[in-house]
Chains A and B, each alone.
Chain A
Amino acid sequence: METFIVFFLNGISYGLLLFMLSSGLTLIFSMMGVLNFAHASFYMVGAYFAYAISAKIGFFPALVVVPLLVGLLGAAFERFSLRKVHHFGHVPELLVTFGLAYVIEQLVRLTWGPSTVDYRIPDLLSGTLFTVVNLAGDNLQFMAGARDPILCAADTGNTCTQFPVYRAFMAVVALFMLTSLWLLLTRTRVGLIIQAALTHPDMAQALGHNVPRVMMGVFGGGCALAGLAGVIGGNAFITEPSMAASLGAIIFVVVVVGGMGSLAGAFLASILIGLMQTFAVIADVSMATLFQSLGSPVSFEHWAYPLLKITISEMAPILPYLLLVLMLILRPKGLLGTREE
Chain B
Amino acid sequence: MANNTIYAFKPVNVGRWVLWSLFALVLIMAPQVFTSGTSLTMLTKMGIGIIICLSYNMLLGQGGMLSFGHAVYSGLGAFAAVHALVRVSDGLWNLPVSLVPMVGGLGGLIVAALFGSVTTKKSGTTFAMITLGIGAMVFSMSLMLPEFFGGEGGISANRMVGEPVWGITFGPQIQVYYLIAFYCFICTVLMFAFTQTPLGRMLNAVRDNPERVEFIGYDTQRVRYIAFMIAGFFAGIGGGLHAINDEIVTAEVVGAEYSGMYLLFTFLGGALFFFGPIIGAVLMVFATVLLHELTNAWMLYLGIIFLAMVMYAPGGIASLIMMNVRVAAYGLLRRLWVAYLALFGTVIPLLLGITVMIEMVYHMQMNVGMGPEMTFLGVTLRVDAVDAWVGALFLTLTGAALFELARREFVHQWSDVQEEIEAEQLRRQMH
Contacts and interface: CB of A to CB of B under 8 A. Distances in A.
Given A98-B263, A249-B132, A252-B132, A35 B125 contact: yes
Given A91-B64, A95-B310, A318-B144, A332 B129 contact: no
Contact of B125 (A88, A90, A100, A329): A90
B372 interface: no
Contacts of A318: 137, 140-141, 144
B310 A102 contact: no
B240 to A, nearest CB: 23
Contacts of B136: 249, 321
Given A102-B260, A324-B130, A341-B123, A91 B66 contact: yes
A102 B130 contact: no
Contacts, number: 119
B416 interface: no
A321 B121 contact: no
Contacts of B60: 91
A-side interface size class: 35 or more
Given A102-B260, A310-B144, A315-B144, A249 B362 contact: no
Main secondary structure of the interface of B (DSSP, over half): helix
- Report which residue of B135, B136, B256, B358 has the largest number of chain A beta carbons within 10 angstroms of its beta carbon: B136
A145 interface: no
A329 B118 contact: yes
A310 B136 CA distance: 18
B147 interface: yes
B263 A321 contact: no
Contacts of B300: 103, 106-107, 110
B21 to A, nearest CB: 35
B311 interface: yes
A96 B133 contact: no
A145 to B, nearest CB: 38
Given A96-B311, A253-B133, A324-B133, A106 B303 contact: yes
Interface in A101-150: 102-103, 106-107, 110-111, 113
B145 A307 contact: yes
Contact of B122 (A88, A102, A341): A341
Interface string B294-315: 0001011011101100110010
Given A102-B260, A256-B130, A92 B307 contact: no
Contacts of A325: 118, 133-134, 137
Interface in B183-236: none
A99 interface: yes
A90 B124 contact: yes
Contacts of B68: 98
B365 interface: yes
Contact of B303 (A92, A102, A260): A102
Contacts of B121: 328, 332
B267 interface: yes
B122 A35 contact: no
B194 to A, nearest CB: 21
Given A85-B311, A91-B64, A95-B66, A306 B147 contact: yes
Interface footprint category on B: 35 or more
B129 A252 contact: yes
B72 to A, nearest CB: 12
A332 B122 CA distance: 8
Given A252-B132, A332-B121, A341 B126 contact: yes
Of B119, B126, B147, B148, the most chain A CB neighbours within 10 A belong to B126
A307 to B, nearest CB: 7
B160 interface: no
B133 A99 contact: no
Contacts of B129: 35, 252-253, 255-256
B361 interface: yes
Contacts of B145: 306-307, 310
Nearest to B125: A35
A249 B133 contact: yes
A110 B132 contact: no
A96 B124 contact: no
Contacts of B144: 310, 314-315, 318
A96 B314 CA distance: 10
Given A110-B358, A110-B361, A332-B122, A94 B311 contact: no
B128 interface: yes
A249 B136 CA distance: 7
A245 interface: yes
Contact of A256 (B123, B133, B141, B302): B133
Contacts of B263: 98
Contacts of B122: 328, 332, 341
Given A99-B306, A110-B362, A341-B126, A321 B311 contact: no
Q: Which 9 A-B pairs have the closest CB atoms?
A: A321-B137, A102-B303, A106-B300, A103-B303, A249-B136, A99-B307, A306-B147, A317-B140, A252-B129
Given A91-B124, A102-B306, 5 more contacts: A81-B307, A90-B124, A96-B307, A102-B299, A341-B122
16 contacts: A81-B307, A85-B310, A94-B128, A95-B306, A95-B310, A96-B310, A99-B306, A252-B129, A252-B133, A260-B125, A306-B145, A306-B147, A310-B144, A318-B144, A325-B133, A325-B134
Interface of A: 29, 33, 35, 81, 84-85, 88, 90-92, 94-96, 98-100, 102-103, 106-107, 110-111, 113, 245, 248-249, 252-253, 255-256, 260, 306-307, 310, 314-315, 317-318, 320-322, 324-325, 328-329, 332, 341
